């Protein structure tokens, strides 16, 4: 069933800012890797060296672990991330992880130090608007997922990144327009597969998530991000 997803033929929003790296070798750190994100990352960035981090195996299978260059099982709440070298990654992706952490900003500060000069960081997390959305299976209201513990704001996330000397390229509501256009088809496809419309089909239309894309200055933007 995982192939019945837009990630098969539309670049996932978490990877879209890094299109220029598609044909270049790069080191990609995926924090909170799951739901087959390794397979999709390797499809869109076949030359990347992929490092996945998660507390457990979150809906990954043998195919995902086969394409990972490295997988680290870490609890972000307790680890100081010494297992990951500083300034070692061209891309750091942290999508829908912060909201599961009581002190996600401290984790984010540590992640900033893993980024090389000229590299890019993509963050995505439920918006404050999600608190006012209706409930749906697969999460549409923030509290649909009982493991969500804190709402983070774009302002506080951006302020921390600025303190770490990153440059904000884009911040605000996630609106992936191809996904918006395909919302009716995604919802219609969800019904026969699951018997219900998954909340994830409606994220871009409803404004469920915020995202931040930032870069670390240096080396004259050698990666062209």
Cα maximum dimension of the chain? 51
How confident is the model at residue 171, as a pLDDT?
98
**Average pLDDT over all residues of the chain:** 90
* Contacts with 179 (C-beta within 8 Å, 6 or more apart), sequence order: 6, 10, 13, 186, 203, 204
Residue 106 CB coordination number (10 Å) = 14
- Taking the C-alpha atoms of residue 137 and residue 207, their distance in angstroms, rounded to an integer, is 16
Q: For residue 25, is it within any domain?
A: yes
The pLDDT of residue 109 is above 90: yes
pTM of the model: 0.91
Please give the helix or strand (H or E) that residue 44 lies within, else none. Answer: helix 37-44
Q: For residue 53, is it within any domain?
A: yes
- Which segment of 23-37, 189-203, 210-224 scores lowest on mean pLDDT? 189-203
CATH number for the domain harbouring residue 53: 3.40.50.150
Categorise residue 16: left if φ over 0, alpha if ψ from -120 to 50, beta otherwise. alpha
Q: For residue 1, is it within any domain?
A: no
111-136: pLDDT as tens digits: 999 999 999 999 999 999 999 999 99
Q: For residue 187, is it within any domain?
A: no
Nearest to 126 by CA among 165, 106, 102, 97: 97
Q: For residue 197, is it within any domain?
A: no
Q: Average of pLDDT values for 154-171?
A: 98
Number of domains in the chain: 1
How confident is the model at residue 1, as a pLDDT?
35
Q: For residue 41, is it within any domain?
A: yes
Domain coverage including residue 18: 6-175+207-215
Q: How remote is the C-alpha of 197 from its chain's centroid?
A: 22
More confident residue, 36 or 154: 154
Q: For residue 184, is it within any domain?
A: no
How confident is the model at residue 222, as a pLDDT?
59
Q: For residue 33, is it within any domain?
A: yes
Q: Do residues 140 and 209 lie in contact, with contact meaning Cβ atoms separated by under 8 Å? A: no
């Amino acid at each position: 069933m995982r192939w019945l997803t837009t990630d098969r033929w539309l670049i996932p929003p978490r990877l879209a800012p890094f299109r220029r790296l598609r044909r270049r070798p790069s080191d990609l750190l995926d924090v909170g890797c799951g739901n087959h994100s390794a397979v999709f990352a390797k499809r869109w960035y076949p030359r990347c060296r992929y490092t996945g981090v998660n507390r457990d195996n979150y809906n990954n299978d043998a195919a995902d672990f086969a394409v990972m260059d490295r997988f680290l099982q870490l609890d972000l709440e307790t680890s100081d991330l010494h297992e990951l070298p500083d300034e070692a990654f061209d891309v750091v992706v942290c999508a829908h992880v912060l909201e599961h952490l009581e002190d996600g900003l401290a984790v984010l500060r540590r992640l900033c130090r893993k980024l090389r000069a000229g590299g890019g960081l993509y963050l995505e997390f439920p918006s404050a608007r999600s608190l006012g959305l209706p409930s749906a299976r697969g999460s549409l209201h923030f509290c649909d997922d009982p493991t969500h513990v804190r709402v983070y704001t774009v302002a506080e996330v951006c302020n921390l990144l600025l303190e770490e000397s990153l440059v904000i390229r884009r911040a605000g509501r996630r609106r992936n327009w191809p996904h918006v256009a395909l919302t009716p088809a995604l919802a219609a496809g969800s019904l026969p597969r699951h018997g219900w419309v998954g909340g994830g089909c409606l994220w871009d239309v409803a404004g469920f998530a915020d995202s931040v894309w930032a870069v670390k200055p240096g080396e004259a933007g050698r990666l062209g991000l």
